[in-house]
Structure 1
């Protein structure tokens, strides 16, 4: 059994005694909850305690689960997001009742939008008070789970000890089922505290049964026929490809067709930028929009073609669309076409096998000309950037890319530098994760903490990079305490432009002036140092060296860069005029 020090990585956590009995013999509902998580394969949990969750957190002392101690529930949700990404499985999020649970909603919305499997386990008031709203319990809500139903894939309220293993197993399985996403289980305070010795045997290993969404054969055949006969096929790959682990299958399809691959911002890890068929991800440029529109057959896989993936809904395909998507509600919902409701890995694998049996129209000729088309496209994008005064912005992105090792994961908040990175960042061997799924502030730093904690649990202790603006940084500032307590290998880059830079740009462009975008903010270097974390203020031209040193050294580091960045011209506006 691990000690609190070994699990938490900081000062000893004060012991909680529910009564005078020998705690070594205690086994309560909280233990059943954590036993079930362990049986399902969890190795770590994220969260923070609360009055109704004491039984759950007392059980942590008897569990070998590693515990990441957050300071704010919304940040804890983002930490679970980062943990889920590096673990490749479900990340449990432990919450208290009412204000604690509700504070996690923005983070769970991001997990839902980006299809990240987070299992929120919230305490509840005692069973007798559920649904009444009359008992006056602290944190009581008439229907707490109702607040989650528009965000998570499922909710369930446990009412007996015996329900805990099955409820958590069902929620775990649904969180992993494509499209992955968050689920929520409530466990009342008295169930968490109830003696489980004679009611629920110790939970043994559970093999989750995750339903696979395989493509229907006739749809695969129709898609293969259309693509094999196309003269100018193009592929648009979204985040669903990367999350499904379908990179190899996507490459096989692209190479069989000799089709260029454009990736969405969320799908940057789906296709290697160094591959000769990569057309990268400059989706906000009209040249890329027109490139996609010119395809006689466009294969869209793992993307719902939402706002940022369709150049703000200005994209109008000129040819036939084949849409592979695990979320049934998104299949051909924005553009008519051949819809295939399936997991990206299964669908692309089946499509690659089907293409092997078909003659590909003009494949040899296409192989010679496609690289020229891609080079021409990227040259057009770069020429458009060259025509704007963006030297400082491009130099900063390039310097940061050079400084970050190829295999380092990066986590980006909603900040101007992240908007650049959506298009310009080559992820190479590291995951690129940003908050563009739902667009909430405060994602980058806590997500990086969760990822770094996951690396520690898996024994690698690999460094990670978080990127925030000064406005978004204020959302997660309390987690400097978490970062120090766990002594994690997180480098936090804060771009300090004095306010909400993106909103400043938008308002100035729309109205000629910005309102409520300028911020008083702390001395971030001094603040980090007050937490015992090394920090420094560097000028943009010195950023690369500072990042290289920070990522190479163990432990946390904060780097603050004072600079005002601009966005490149939103060329989609030409179409809206």
Structure 2
């Protein structure tokens, strides 16, 4: 009897010939590069280091595109965005010790946002593994331990023959729901040593499907069918699973209002009659969700930001679909369905009957009107005008990347993302410096659309070195820097909570002339005003290559409402 797997395991004549006659001079670094190419990678991000040079030597002999950044953390942010845009695992090449550790904040963001990043780090020679006492340059007592609490899986290689299997296992882990970053480390001597191992030509790393249990979706379908006031919270899991169309189908079948979390921006059409948009820091939205007799939460753990700072208290039944088992019922009791959002929504679509609620659109309009009235009473016209100018200037399908800055906080609630997987921010882990290097990664992933990065002056100072990267690779990214003289959002928090006064040295910053700085890298820069922002930003986005637009302005947050 012939089984399918017999056919899969039998090498082709070309594979057999390549295996029996490997080219001379190959090293463990070649095995790394060949495995990545065999898995389908076309681009790698990173930063070279002494221990990792064998990989970079092998890259010179390959067809893989290498995009080198200036700081490892920024390389991680670029890989994160590349993974989000393409849905592929983004290889990130790092060196040992300090180089590896510098990427930790970026990998934390990738983990929080479920971005598939395949980090491959060098290590000290094999005899130094697990010791921390041999005196090797960059040596850590246990390098892998520094990453184990951040990434999905850790893979340590000790021999050249383990390289293809370790990278394939990590690739599969990164792309199995929930997507996320993974870590592979290979000792320097293993990377540098000559090898007679056959050329890597066939690598199977198909992600496992996370299928919902049918008895759970049957119960969920029954609850939704009988609900009088169903509502839906759509999180980032909907975007990562490419499930926005299925979400819309289900919402329309149920006549269920939908609110998207900050990580789920674009998962549901902003102007749809059932769209509650993203006003999660508003008590009117919170009250509406609490009043639902059945609340379907898809791809969200209802964490701090998604639950209006943990003030949300549902009174009805909660059905939670979540690929990360650690987030299931972590904050609220629920019918927990451990599954990929796309597969679970499909199961519900196959079983939930149509229900009609002609009052739903009017109830949604009433909530949004109350939100608008509340914001209108806070004298935040400038902020809304600036955000509106950004939206009008940015092409509908162009991706935007937002740092932790006042304008981004506005955008979480008030920005129409236009489409799924087009608006990305650092709110998963909340680190500074995300926007610009992430936008560079997006421009590498899709050079057909200009990308926008939005930073404050404080966050921009984390990333200015990458102006060199943008120029070197001629990446089509426009960087909007809102210069308010310091850490604007922290200034507000410090003033409100601790009574700090204007000019407090903790949050005030000496800044460079960002326009002159950009131009010193050969990147065009322009200083704008709120009145000219739309025109200047439109022109910058329409011009190929990198550009910088600086807006000197002090923006203020709207006052959120956490309690009724």
Query: What interval of TM-score do these two structures reach, taking the shorter chain for normalisation?
Result: over 0.9
Q: For residues 69 and 548 of structure 1, what CA distance do their matches in structure 2 show?
A: 28
Give the deviation of 1:275 after TM superposition.
Answer: 2.2
Q: Does 1:390 align with 2:380?
A: yes
Give the deviation of 1:25 after TM superposition.
Answer: 4.3
Query: 362, 375, 390: which one pairs with 2:365?
Result: 375
Unpaired runs of at least 5, structure 2: 1-22
Q: Does 1:126 align with 2:125?
A: yes
**1:256-284 deviation line (CA, Å, top 9, x unaligned):** 11101100000012111132221111000
Q: For residues 74 and 296 of structure 2, what CA distance do their matches in structure 1 show?
A: 36
Q: For residues 87 and 230 of structure 1, what CA distance do their matches in structure 2 show?
A: 37
What SS class does the counterpart of residue 118 from structure 2 fall into?
Answer: strand
Q: Does 1:262 align with 2:249?
A: no
What SS class does the counterpart of residue 160 from structure 2 fall into?
Answer: coil
Give the deviation of 1:426 after TM superposition.
Answer: 0.5
Q: Does 1:303 align with 2:300?
A: yes
Q: For residues 334 and 144 of structure 1, what CA distance do their matches in structure 2 show?
A: 32
Give the deviation of 1:209 after TM superposition.
Answer: 2.0
**1:309-355 deviation line (CA, Å, top 9, x unaligned):** 00000000011100110111111111012111111000000011111
Give the deviation of 1:213 after TM superposition.
Answer: 1.2
Q: Does 1:407 align with 2:397?
A: yes
Query: 208, 212, 223: which one pairs with 2:220?
Result: 223
What SS class does the counterpart of residue 531 from structure 2 fall into?
Answer: helix
Q: For residues 132 and 284 of structure 1, what CA distance do their matches in structure 2 show?
A: 49
Structure-2 residue corresponding to 1:329: 326
Q: Does 1:445 align with 2:436?
A: yes
What SS class does the counterpart of residue 332 from structure 1 fall into?
Answer: coil
**Counterparts of residues 231-310 of structure 1 (less than 5 Å):** 231-310=228-307
Q: For residues 465 and 369 of structure 1, what CA distance do their matches in structure 2 show?
A: 38
**Counterparts of residues 54-73 of structure 1 (less than 5 Å):** 54-73=53-72
The TM-score with structure 1 as length reference comes to 0.92
Unpaired runs of at least 5, structure 1: 1-23
**1:458-506 deviation line (CA, Å, top 9, x unaligned):** xx3x210000000000001111111111011000000000000000011
Q: For residues 491 and 46 of structure 2, what CA distance do their matches in structure 1 show?
A: 34
Q: Does 1:202 align with 2:199?
A: yes
What SS class does the counterpart of residue 268 from structure 1 fall into?
Answer: coil
Q: Does 1:519 align with 2:505?
A: no
Structure-1 residue corresponding to 2:174: 175
Of 172-181 and 203-212, more deviation after overlay is shown by: 203-212
Query: 325, 328, 342: which one pairs with 2:339?
Result: 342
Give the deviation of 1:112 after TM superposition.
Answer: 0.4
Q: For residues 125 and 461 of structure 2, what CA distance do their matches in structure 1 show?
A: 35
What SS class does the counterpart of residue 175 from structure 1 fall into?
Answer: helix
Q: For residues 131 and 225 of structure 1, what CA distance do their matches in structure 2 show?
A: 53
Structure-1 residue corresponding to 2:138: 139
Give the deviation of 1:156 after TM superposition.
Answer: 1.3
Q: For residues 193 and 211 of structure 2, what CA distance do their matches in structure 1 show?
A: 42
Q: Does 1:466 align with 2:463?
A: no
Aligned residues: 538
Give the deviation of 1:27 after TM superposition.
Answer: 1.2
**Counterparts of residues 16-31 of structure 1 (less than 5 Å):** 25-31=24-30
**1:522-567 deviation line (CA, Å, top 9, x unaligned):** 1111111000110011111110001111111101100000000000
**1:435-467 deviation line (CA, Å, top 9, x unaligned):** 0000000000000011101124xxx3x210000
The TM-score with structure 2 as length reference comes to 0.94
Q: For residues 267 and 24 of structure 2, what CA distance do their matches in structure 1 show?
A: 49
